[in-house]
Structure formats: C-alpha cells, structure tokens
Amino acid sequence: MLFFTQCFGAVLDLIHLRFQHYKAKRVFSAAGQLVCVVNPTHSLKYAPTRCAAAQASTEQGILSPCHHHEAVHDPQLVPCTCPLFSCPWEGHLEVVVSHLRQTHRINILQGAEIVFLATDMHLPAPTDWIIMHSCLGHQFLLVLRKQEKYEGHPQFFATMMLIGTPTQADNFTYRLELNRNQRRLKWEATPRSILECVDSVISDGDCLVLNTSLAQLFSDNGSLAIGIAITTSKVHSPEAEM
Amino acid sequence: MLFFTQCFGAVLDLIHLRFQHYKAKRVFSAAGQLVCVVNPTHSLKYAPTRCAAAQASTEQGILSPCHHHEAVHDPQLVPCTCPLFSCPWEGHLEVVVSHLRQTHRINILQGAEIVFLATDMHLPAPTDWIIMHSCLGHQFLLVLRKQEKYEGHPQFFATMMLIGTPTQADNFTYRLELNRNQRRLKWEATPRSILECVDSVISDGDCLVLNTSLAQLFSDNGSLAIGIAITTSKVHSPEAEM
C-alpha cells in the first residue's frame, strides 16, 4: 500500500513539473525564446579563502591555481569555480565546462536569448539556482542566489560569469530582465570572469539585487522568470547612450 | 577679518555648485536631455497614520481627505502629500502642484526625458531628493529616498507618483535609468497616484531599490544621475514583450 502511495506521489510530482514547464513555455513562446526550468540547490559550503586567492591572482592578470593550502602548482590550472561546492578539483580553463556538467550536473543551454525559470523561490537561504549558457562561441555561468546579507532579510542576487579570462569577459555585455505585473527591471553589465569569485561579486552587490517583496512581485506561483541576453560589447559607450 | 573669510567661503561654495551643474550638463548634453541638479533635504517628519488613511480612501476609489484627526470633511479635498513634511495643508487635487512649489519650494521641470542629478549621496539617512516633472499634460513627483530599512544598512528607493487619480496614473509608464561604469539598471512601472502614500510604496519595496554599494558604483563624485522618461502605456503588454 505504501509503495502505491509513493508511486502516486511521484506521478503527481512529474505532472506538476511538466505543467510548470509547459506553462513557462506558453508564457514566453511568443518571443520564441528557450525556457529552462531551473530547480534550486542548497549551497553545501562556501570557501571564501579559496575565492580571495583566486581573485588576487586574477587581478595580477595570470591564471594561477587558487588552493590556499598549496604553495607550488601549475599556473595553467584553475580550481573548480562552481559556487555550490567546495570542490577540490582543479584543471585547465578548457575543461571547466565538462567538469561542471559531469560532476555538478549543471545543464548547458544554447542560444543568444533564453529564459531562466527558477522554481521554489520560497526555499530558505542560502539557496542557489545555476545554469550554463552557451552563446557567441563562449560558455557563461548564470548564478541566482538567495542569501541573508542582513539577518532575517533574505535577498536575491543574480550575476553572469564568463567561463574564460577577464580579458575575454570584457568583450561581452549580459542583460538580465524581469517583466511582470506591469513592472520591468533590467540589469546590464560586463560579465565577470569565472576566475574571479562569484561570492565576492555578490558580497560587493555588483549584480542584480532583489528584495524579497520585489522578487514576489516578479514571480508567478513561486517561480521567477529571468530573461537573459548576451551581446558583444565592443561598441558599448554607456555615458553617451543615456 | 571673519566677515571676509565667510564671504570667501560662500563664493567658493557657489563656484563648486556652478561647476557641479556644468559638469552634469556636459555629461548628458550629448543626448540633449535637461539635467536638473537636486539637492537633498533631510526628512523632518513622517506621518504613517495619515498615509494609511489616504491609502484606504484611495482603494475605495474616492478622493477623500486623509487627516486622521478629522472625522468629517469635504470629499473633494486632498492632504498635502509632500513626503518631506507632516504638513497640515489640504486642498483640491488641482492646487497640489502650486502648494508643493510655493510652500515646499519643489522645482518643476518640463520635458518627456530629463536627468535627475541627486547630490550629496553620502548624507546620512533619512534624506529625500524631490522634484516635480511636467510631461504629457500631467505633473509627476519623483522621490529618491535614502532610508535604513535594516538598521545600519541604508538603501536608496526611487519612485514616481502622478499628481492625479489612480485611474489617470494607469495611463502612464515611467522609466528610471542608471548608467555608469559599464553597468545599466532600468526600472519601469506604472506610476502610483499621489493619493496613495509614498511611504507605503517604499516600505513595500515596489520601486527602484539600490544598496549602498550599487549606488556608489552608479554615482560620480557623490552625485547620482537618474534618467527619467514617461510614456503613455495604453499599448503596454509586459508578458508578450519579454
């Protein structure tokens, strides 16, 4: 009897997920955009010392390994930059994507414009929603994080990192867009390199920041849809465009 | 001797203000937009009970007076909605603009697109920056407020109110845009009616919200430039446009 109840529960969950996915597709299909339903993952561990080391080496313009407990290493190696885990892996920049896919099961999407549909926004902080985005010959990592910077007041932080060097990252502009209930919020910036640390980008607040109330206004039935677009930014001149 | 020192100080202040104004004009003159330098005003007093009453009456769709200490009044009168002061004035909606100009010395600017340049962003919370904006046959009130929602963590909140009824407000969309250091943040929404309360809009977080770190990234020499545009919104269809 218990077995049948569990089976029934699993079938209901599948129907719910399928419905959520189709609903998202229906909402955004008018624009012909690919919708990706992204489920949350609770952050297991943050490693700020590793990040600090990574950032220091990035600022010096070199690809150096960042494990603080190692004194000598191959300067061509980079650590695993997946923000979810304190992962001991390190490898060449070219194999970071396959590591993130294979070890951390992060999906990769193709296309210049996609919709990132983060589910279960009500889950307690810290929670991350992560996806990779393949576009313009490069791979990008989108991170949405729910975190309590001020105790008892969770906020949402969204940023995009290039799986490449800071010099390569300077060639792109990414846009995150929320659009619902006659409100629209757009954030445009140059992506950071994955050699910099997502934790420091978020703690600096140099990303799209949403209070809980605003996140609720933009979300539908517990899911937040973020439109993502990436362009090359060589002709970008912010002051003149305002 | 003291007199001459004071005179010299005043002349220096004037030169500084003039320089700030010209600098702002130079930055934005390429787009042919009007730049308005807005100096801060420390909030003297907030009157939440008055606001609550105003909102209740607005939700009922009537223009009622909102002074909580009065039981009977002319339903054609509205209270002074200037967020800076707990002002005892009340009058018809048509004379709110002249009251705000004459009593509270709030400037009014003409044009569909203007740049609001708020100076002295470093001043402690609570601080307000306010201007009126005349456009498309209506007047709007732009409020930028620095406030500590979480103790020790001031944030900036920006919103636009129509000096008119909620029904009239539904016909417009306003856009606030920050653009600096290869970052761009845009907020678009329907303006609220001045019959609703700016305090509740800000406490609900239903406006453009900036953390201090983000405000610093967008500001130049202590001043924050916000591009403002107002359009009619009859054809606005947010879901389809995403």
What digits encode the pLDDT tens for the residues A178-197?
999 999 999 999 999 988 87
Is residue A100 helix, strand or coil? helix
Who has greater pLDDT, B118 or B31? B118
Please say whether the beta carbons of A218 and B207 come within 8 A.
no
A108: three-class secondary structure by DSSP: strand
For residue A78, the SS3 value is: strand
pLDDT surpasses 90 at B105: no
Residue of chain B nearest A206, judged by CA positions: B214
Query: Any chain B CB within 8 A of the CB of A31?
Result: yes
Collect all residues of chain B within an 8 Å Cβ-Cβ radius of residue A220.
none
Distance from CA of A30 to the nearest CA of B (A): 6
Contact at CB, A31 and B183, closer than 8 angstroms: no
Q: Are A145 and A52 in contact (CB under 8 A)?
A: no
Does A150 contact chain B (CB < 8 Å)? yes
* Prediction pTM value: 0.74
Asked whether the beta carbons of residue A242 and residue B206 sit closer than 8 angstroms, the reply is no
A213/B227 CB distance under 8 A: no
Give me the pLDDT at residue A145, please: 93
Interchain contact, B27 vs A205, CB within 8 Å: no
Q: What is the pLDDT of residue B216?
A: 93
How confident is the model over A74-103, as pLDDT tens digits?
556 676 766 656 677 888 888 888 888 888
Nearest to B129, CA basis, from B160, B164, B175, B163 = B160
Q: Which residues of chain B lie closer than 8 angstroms to A186, CB-CB?
A: 184-186
For A28, which of B182, B225, B242 is closest by C-beta distance? B242
Segment 183-202 of chain A within 8 Å of chain B by CB = 183-190
Residue A151 banded pLDDT, cuts 50, 70, 90 = confident
Residues in a beta bridge with B239: none
Q: How far is B240 from chain A (nearest CA, A)?
A: 6
Residue A27: closest CA among chain B residues belongs to which residue? Answer: B239
- Measured between CB atoms, does B238 come within 8 Å of chain A? yes
What's the rounded Cα separation, in Å, for the pair A223 and A213? Answer: 14
Q: What is the pLDDT of residues B62-96, one digit of tens each?
A: 333 333 333 345 555 666 666 555 677 878 888 88
Q: How far apart are CA A100 and CA B78, in angstroms?
A: 60
Q: How far apart are CA A154 and CA A123, in angstroms?
A: 10
Q: Of the candidates A173, A185, A209, which has its C-beta nearest B211's C-beta? A: A209
For the CA atoms of chain A, what is the radius of gyration? 19
Cα separation, B207 vs B187, in Å, equals 8
Nearest CA in chain B to A173: B182
Residue B13 has pLDDT above 70, yes or no: no
As for the ipTM of the complex, it is 0.74
CA-nearest of A111, A120, A205, A97 to A158 is A205
B177: closest chain A residue by CA = A242
* Inter-chain residue contact A217 with B206, CB threshold 8 Å: yes
A211 touches chain B (CB under 8 A): yes
More confident residue, B55 or B224: B224
Residue from A113, A105, A64 nearest A87 by CA:
A105
Contact B97, B141 (CB under 8 A): no
A13 in helix, strand or coil? helix
Bridge-based pairing state of the strands A41-42 and A172-180: unpaired
**Cβ of B92 under 8 Å from any chain A Cβ?**
no
State which H helix or E strand residue B62 sits in.
none
Q: Could you give all domains of chain A from N- to C-terminal order, each with its CATH number?
A: 26-41+74-232 (2.60.210.10)
CB contact (8 A) between residue B183 and residue A188: yes
Tens of pLDDT, residues B121-141: 999 988 889 999 999 999 999
Chain A contact present for B242, CB below 8 A: yes
Return the residue matching tokens 């943040």.
B185
pLDDT of residue A113: 83
Residue B225 at interface with chain A, using a CB cutoff of 8 Å:
yes
Tell whether the torsion through CA atoms of B47, B48, B53 and B54 is positive or negative: positive
Residues of A in contact with B238 (CB under 8 A): 179-184
Q: Is A16 on the interface with B (CB under 8 A)?
A: no
Nearest CA in chain B to A174: B183
pLDDT of residue A92: 81
pLDDT tier for residue A119 given thresholds of 50, 70 and 90: very high
d(CA B150, CA B157): 13
Separation of alpha carbons B81 and B152, rounded Å = 28
Q: Count A/B contacts: CB-CB distance under 8 Å.
A: 107
Q: Which of A173, A183, A242 sits opposite B31 (nearest CB)?
A: A242
